[in-house]
Chain A
Amino acid sequence: MAQALTRAMRDAMAEDPTVHVMGEDVGTLGGVFRITDGLAKEFGEERCTDTPLAEAGILGAAVGMAMYGLRPVVEMQFDAFAYPAFEQLISHVAKMRNRTRGAMPLPITIRVPYGGGIGGVEHHCDSSEAYYVATPGLHVVTPATVEDAYGLLRASIASDDPVVFLEPKRLYWSKADWRPEAPAAVPGIGKALVRRTGTSATLITYGPSLPVCLEAAEAAREEGWDLEVVDLRSLVPFDEDTVVESVRRTGRAVVVHEANGFGGPGAEIAARVTERCFHHLEAPVLRVTGFDIPYPPPMLEKHHLPGVDRILDTVARLQWEN
């Protein structure tokens, strides 16, 4: 996935001279995850810039650059280090189009490596999507496959609205669907995909939890469950139709994500599914999420992250009897 992200930026920069990449260590080093590897060499330091270490400054400067016609692609080094930039994100990035009656859209892509499962120490594993999805004016997307990493990043950079592009760090090294040639079609933002068809229940998920759900769906076959798996790919906008269509067919749904459950994206999704599928549901929409705790130290994270067993236990509860 890392290489697909790099290529998406390289292709975008080659096609459009207004695309600029900036952030901490993105130049010579190529980023701490090497996602911007080679861009400074190819396009020069002016288009792939090592900034001073100041997230508010990085995003604030990107606002000004976008106001003047550039398309900044900003890298936040880790999920929890994007927080200093929240003032800029919430007060300006998300609101500029609205405040100016559409006169000043901000085409900024904010790349945020997020989530756990890599044994990182404190402040390196947050699933911060709930903060972003709660802020009107931002698109929030997250790829779970190599192909989507490329396609969604291209679409994000091309978008005239700000996009928070969440990169599941534990999938950076995934090669599952790697193809040397770039995918022909770039999906638009806001389209979910059925990754596995099934008939007994729908798992609704995104980003780092997709592979876990697919594995759970395989395992569930032994228990007689035929699970459908929907990959949201985009949290804002939320592709209600794809989700609703699936749940109406299967009659049961579980939302799976590793962010904290209370006030997490799953709460919103469960509410929407309930509103639109009430008469089709055989059981309440259930959720499997991270616990409502600050992200734990590495040695305990396996207990926190939703795994196959927890998903299967929850699926079993869908045999709803009062």
Chain B
Amino acid sequence: MTVQELPGAGASHRSTQPPAWSPRTDAAPLLPDPEPYRVLGTEAADGLDPELMRRCYAELVRGRRYNAQATALTKQGRLAVYPSTVGQEACEIAAALVLEEQDWLFPSYRDTLAAVARGLDPVQALTLLRGDWHTGYDPREHRIAPLSTPLATQLPHAVGLAHAARLRGDDVVALAMVGDGGTSEGDFHEALNFAAVWQAPVVFLVQNNGFAISVPLAKQTAAPTLAHKAVGYGMPGRLVDGNDIAAMHEVLSEAVRRARAGGGPTLIEAVTYRMEAHTNADDATRYRGDAEVEAWKAHDPVDLLERELTARGIIDEAAIQAVRDDAEAMAAALREGMNADPVVDPMDLFAHVYAEQTDRLREQAAMLRAELEAEDQS
């Protein structure tokens, strides 16, 4: 029997209509606004909470100082490498501030500052980049996942953790951070899809800082914005000015609230700019000109807030000075903490590979111990 001879074959698909299919009618609210959401310098700033904004300002200034100090430490050889977040402090700080104590942060390798703003000891936060240990803190204690170097791979973890917490009946939201380049990775897409299907309490924060090392956003995506990517997965996408900490705080808080209330995940694209090179090993002059960098200087996150708060009388010279002094003290403490030579124990190589040491590792540890003793004697 050929296909043509099958009963009903041939004409049937022409004569009958396919079953009715209706697109989701709630898709429109998922679409991001065409322009990044802003508060500072707009009427929306009338509603600012002075207390919260003072806190944001203090954290921003500390964040800027932290960036400067960490970069200085690379020049002194105290840090192997430091991916700076100068210009991106508003994203980093807002991400930390909107979380409750029981919530989890899933940072990328660039997000040391968010971890520090969440309360992590600055020296512990830098061990990865200093080179004495990969993750110098207990993630459970701080509810901060290890800084993830492979891009976007931490996003499915955030979804899984938030989902697990939900299954256990715990009130936990996970906030996961990724760069614009990371949104091209398969893990990003799989994480978004899982989160939406499971309605997991997750907030995805994309810091679109213009570049993935040297590759500009236009070579990364053809979508109108990265926030648009949310729509296809069935979650709202929000576009926000990443240099406007008031806007960042508002949009992130709203997404965290929604997640907490069972409303599912949100994708937030923060439009910002990486003022410095990718890391100190990178040469940014190869792929971008000074004019672009200069233009972004005029939209600096610290200046934006300082101007607004000064104009509104929320902070004055004295308050600014106090904040700067505090930041200076933090930097001094960081310097001091980092100036002590880290004590590394070679036997640590074998300490954390398995819960139970294997015979093979015991042998290898004995071999290394003998080598070290021989070295000591010579």
Contact mask B341-378 → A, CB, 8 Å, 1/0?
Answer: 01010101110010000101100100010011000000
Contact mask B195-225 → A, CB, 8 Å, 1/0?
Answer: 0000000000000000011110001110000
Q: Could you tell me the dominant secondary structure of chain A's interface residues?
A: loop
On whether A57 and B184 interact (CB within 8 A), knowing A29-B213, A50-B214, the answer reads yes
> Which of A123, A297, A300 is within 8 Å of B149, CB to CB?
A123
Contact mask A222-260 → B, CB, 8 Å, 1/0?
Answer: 000000000000000000000000000000000000000
* A43 nearest CB across to chain B (Å): 17
* B9 nearest CB across to chain A (Å): 32
Contact between chains at A121 and B346 (CB < 8 Å) = no
Residues of A within 8 A of B299 (CB): none
Is the C-beta of B232 less than 8 angstroms from some C-beta in chain A? no
* A16 nearest CB across to chain B (Å): 25
* B365 nearest CB across to chain A (Å): 8
> Which of A28, A84, A294, A297 is within 8 Å of B286, CB to CB?
A28
Please report the total number of A residues contacting B with Cβ < 8 Å: 39
Is the C-beta of B81 less than 8 angstroms from some C-beta in chain A? yes
* A2 nearest CB across to chain B (Å): 14
Q: Kindly state the separation between the CA atoms of A27 and B216 in the bound complex, as whole angstroms.
A: 11
* A54 nearest CB across to chain B (Å): 4
Contact between chains at A121 and B185 (CB < 8 Å) = no
Contact mask A290-307 → B, CB, 8 Å, 1/0?
Answer: 011110111110011000
Interface residues of B in 204-255 (CB under 8 A from A): 212-215, 219-221
> Which of A55, A121, A300, A309 is within 8 Å of B349, CB to CB?
A300
Which of B11-19, B28-36, B129-137, B155-163 contacts the other chain? Answer: B129-137
Contact between chains at B360 and A262 (CB < 8 Å) = yes
* A131 nearest CB across to chain B (Å): 15
24 interchain pairs (CB within 8 A)?
A25-B215, A27-B214, A27-B215, A29-B213, A29-B287, A30-B286, A32-B281, A50-B214, A52-B184, A52-B219, A54-B185, A83-B150, A84-B186, A120-B80, A291-B361, A291-B364, A292-B353, A294-B353, A300-B346, A300-B348, A300-B349, A303-B368, A310-B371, A313-B371
Residues of B within 8 A of A (CB): 80-81, 127-134, 149-151, 181-182, 184-187, 212-215, 219-221, 281-283, 286-287, 342, 344, 346, 348-350, 353, 358, 360-361, 364, 368, 371-372
Residues of A within 8 A of B (CB): 24-25, 27-30, 32, 50, 52-57, 80-81, 83-84, 119-124, 262, 291-294, 296-300, 303-304, 309-310, 313
Q: What 8 pairs between A and B have smallest CB-CB spacing? A: A298-B131, A29-B214, A52-B184, A53-B181, A123-B149, A303-B346, A54-B184, A53-B184
